[in-house]
Structure 1
Amino acid sequence: MHLPHINYGNYRKKWLRKASIFSFKNCALIVPVSEALVASDYRYDSAAPEKQGLKNLIPGLATPIQVIHNGFDAAFWNDPGNARKHFSFLTVATGITASNRAKVKGIDLILEAAHRFKHFHFTLVGDDRFSTALPNVTIAPAMDKESLRLAYQQSQFYLQLSASEGFPNALAEAMLCGCVPIGSKVGEIAHIIGNTGFILEKRDFGLLCTIFDNLATDKTLAEKRRQARDRITTHFSYSLRKEKLLGIIDQSK
């Protein structure tokens, strides 16, 4: 990905760009986790170049590419069926004290939403050095797997409002744990969510407000909670990823 307007991506720096191009051209096989990382038309933020992905950033790339999505342990990441605090939203993101990292992860949109929707509660997990004066935003440090699972299991919604993502693990983990997903239309996010949550088509706060405004009257949230877990177990299981990766190894023998 190359998003120079928020200072993101290896291709914005000469030597990182050269090293990345050399690596991709000289390896035997590229195994990305998302089709969007191969080639995509990026339309989420009009300030970014539209053509993204390896084939657009490295014209003439001849290295074989095989997409293998991430996979997840549905026995560990589980939904105990507990009641959730209404209008509770969780986001996991590290390093967001850096302004460009915060923009990549959509933290600015989340804080704007917290300011507008004062009766909603937002939790940001991953960087306890980050701070905000907003009373309805809780900042939590990075967590171990067990603590993170509990955090997912206590939240009604999971927010993945990133400006760039390949395949965000936290989104799938949260869906397995019963969070209704709300995500930006970048990378693999829309494919992960499918029809089990809500998609922010553009980086537009008005569109995000429309999604939030409609949550209070949405009668399908309980069904979406169940569907979200089912979608990950069906399409993104750990065993499926394992099978495909072992297949690559067998072919190379």
Structure 2
Amino acid sequence: MNSPAVLRVTHVITGLGQGGAEAVLFRLATYPDQHVHHTVVSLTDDGVYGERLRAAGVTVHTLGMARGRVSLSDFLTLRRLLIAGKPDAVQTWMYHADLIGGLAARLAGIRALAWGIRNSGAHLQRSSRSARAVLKLCALLSGRVPAAIVCAARDAAVRHEQYGYRAERLVVIANGYDLSRYQPDAEARQRVRQSWQVGDDVPVIGCVARWDPLKDHANLLGAMASLVHDGGPQRFPELRCVLVGRGMSPDNAELAALIDRLGLRDRVLLAGPSDEVPAVMNALDIHVLSSCAEGFPNVVAEAMACGTPCVVTDVGDAAHIVDQTAVVVPPEQPEALAQGIARTLENIAVRGRQAVGDPGRDRVLAEFDLAHMVAAYDAVWRRIAQESR
């Protein structure tokens, strides 16, 4: 029997807040002219993407589960929802949704189930106890529950196989980007810099990432302190750093104390979360990934697509994403990160920001176009739907 021309796919995700997995799901579900009807189930709430998805014509259900816990009634509600929806395939996103959504789908009689791994699996000791327990349980169930396991990064696939995930189920699909939205934009650069109160000639580095130990903002701020206090002013007397994301605000006492301890209060701008990531990327001279663990870091490809030069730590698929277009340094070494930033700033001073950033945009255009990602997911869903018949 052939797979249906229009495939019904239900996505189960922990929440719809401002994160990388949520952004990828949004791009996937709202891509035009595809032969898939998407339904999204958030185990918690609407977050920031719920209403955006509905506005794009996607059906969204929210279950209102408490984060980190699930009751029997919550689980049975999800199962009933899946039975009523009669999807041809179910795609879950991230560990908790893989476990909860996966078991609910199988108990609803759905065998065409794909898990979604967004985490690199590195530095598990820094993850929550809940996340570690769920990962171990998923590894044990990986040969019985999902028909496919989609990883966003090659590095994540290798590491999860080492943790016990079934190798024959693993598929790598790199994230794709809407390159009509992520592109160089001189007007956006000027507008955002004016809001930050920095002139166009002021060198600005920055990072778009939520407050999380794995994002390692201490690494970036340590590098910034090295550039500013250890001879840096002679080369970069006006250097500023902008931090964008959830928790990047003055009321984050731990972050504020770190900034003060490093003597960076006048050098660091805490801009908070933003719905205008492309504009933010355009406003930066360099986007810095300072993480100690990643899967497939969206922000790197987003910065590159905007023509923004990057410096990245060698985590997850970051080095693969930038290839030869950016400086790659070891993680958790602020001095090495400072040297990478300095080298890139000096390169920009000689060649110009556009010349330094153009190769990165060219790479994203060639390798990480959104259409490639949509087609790859479609192929997985149709395969498992066909195999389940």
Instruction: Pick the TM interval, shorter chain.
Output: 0.7 to 0.9
Residue 123 (structure 2) pairs with residue 3 (structure 1): yes
Q: How much has 1:244 moved relative to structure 2? A: 0.9
2:379 and 2:148 mapped to 1: Cα distance? 13
Contact 1:153–1:179 (8 Å) recurs in 2: yes
Q: For 2:138, which of 20, 42, 52 is the aligned residue?
A: 20
Report the counterpart of residue 77 of structure 1 in structure 2: 182
Q: For 1:241, which of 343, 367, 373 is the aligned residue?
A: 373
Q: For 1:120, which of 234, 239, 246 is the aligned residue?
A: 239
Report the counterpart of residue 176 of structure 1 in structure 2: 305
Read off the aligned partner of 1:65 and give its amino acid letter.
L
Report the counterpart of residue 43 of structure 1 in structure 2: none
2:284 and 2:298 mapped to 1: Cα distance? 17
Equivalence map 1:41-80=2 (5 Å):
53-58=159-164, 61-80=166-185
Q: For 1:198, which of 324, 327, 341 is the aligned residue?
A: 327
Q: For 2:274, which of 136, 143, 147 is the aligned residue?
A: 143
Read off the aligned partner of 1:199 and give its amino acid letter.
V
Report the counterpart of residue 233 of structure 2 in structure 1: none
Report the counterpart of residue 215 of structure 2 in structure 1: 105
Choose between structure 1 and 2: higher helix proportion: 2
Q: Deviations along 1:118-138, whole A, 9 cap, x unmatched? A: 342111111224333321111
Deviates more, 1:161-170 or 1:68-77: 161-170
2:227 and 2:316 mapped to 1: Cα distance? 27
Contact 1:85–1:155 (8 Å) recurs in 2: no
Report the counterpart of residue 204 of structure 2 in structure 1: 88
Read off the aligned partner of 1:244 and give its amino acid letter.
A
Please state whether the residue corresponding to 1:66 is helix, strand or coil. strand
TM-score if structure 2 supplies the norm length? 0.54
Q: For 1:35, which of 148, 151, 154 is the aligned residue?
A: 154
Q: How much has 1:203 moved relative to structure 2? A: 2.9
TM-score if structure 1 supplies the norm length? 0.81
Number of residue-to-residue matches in the alignment: 229
Please state whether the residue corresponding to 1:165 is helix, strand or coil. coil
1:117 and 1:93 mapped to 2: Cα distance? 21
Please state whether the residue corresponding to 1:217 is helix, strand or coil. helix
Which has the larger Rg?
A: 2
Contact 2:243–2:269 (8 Å) recurs in 1: yes
Q: How much has 1:22 moved relative to structure 2? A: 3.7
Q: Deviations along 1:166-222, whole A, 9 cap, x unmatched? A: 111111111111210110111110011111111013432232232233234324553
Contact 1:124–1:138 (8 Å) recurs in 2: yes
* Segments of 4+ moved more than 6 angstroms: 9-12
Please state whether the residue corresponding to 2:155 is helix, strand or coil. helix
Contact 1:10–1:17 (8 Å) recurs in 2: no
Q: How much has 1:237 moved relative to structure 2? A: 0.5
Report the counterpart of residue 361 of structure 2 in structure 1: 229
2:151 and 2:224 mapped to 1: Cα distance? 34
Q: How much has 1:63 moved relative to structure 2? A: 4.3
Superposition RMSD on alpha carbons, in Å? 2.3
1:170 and 1:202 mapped to 2: Cα distance? 17
Q: How much has 1:248 moved relative to structure 2? A: 1.5
Contact 1:85–1:154 (8 Å) recurs in 2: no
Q: Which runs of 5+ in 2 are unaligned?
A: 1-120, 191-199, 229-237
Report the counterpart of residue 214 of structure 1 in structure 2: 343
Q: Does the C-alpha gap of structure 1 residues 75 and 167 become closer, same or farther in structure 2, counting only changes over 3 Å? A: same
2:154 and 2:146 mapped to 1: Cα distance? 19
Q: How much has 1:9 moved relative to structure 2? A: 6.4
Contact 2:290–2:331 (8 Å) recurs in 1: no
